[in-house]
Amino acid sequence: MAIPSDDFKGFKTNKTFLAPALEIADLNVLDSGRSILTAWELSDSELEEIIKTKTIYVAILGQNLPPLAVSTDLLGLIELNPTV
């Protein structure tokens, strides 16, 4: 499973969500006040699977599904959230 990454291409994270359990990592994010950007690191085997299937799966815990964007383009996501 992907793990949280601190690679925000020179942008400093400004908020941390603390992990609810020891086996889960804290999540550093860029919080614009309008949205929250996260970064994730994939293992080599996960990258191979994505290349093979061109598919990823996202689970949102709870019963509401907020608007969600998944991208490799951090700057493009930041353009959607100009207060970052």
- Taking only the tens place, the pLDDT of each residue in 39-83 is 999 999 999 999 999 999 988 878 888 888 888 888 888 887 666
Radius of gyration of the chain, Cα coordinates, nearest whole angstrom: 14
Structure confidence at residue 79 (pLDDT)? 81
CA–CA gap between residue 73 and residue 9 (Å, rounded): 10
CA–CA gap between residue 72 and residue 7 (Å, rounded): 12
- Taking only the tens place, the pLDDT of each residue in 21-44 is 878 889 999 998 888 999 999 999
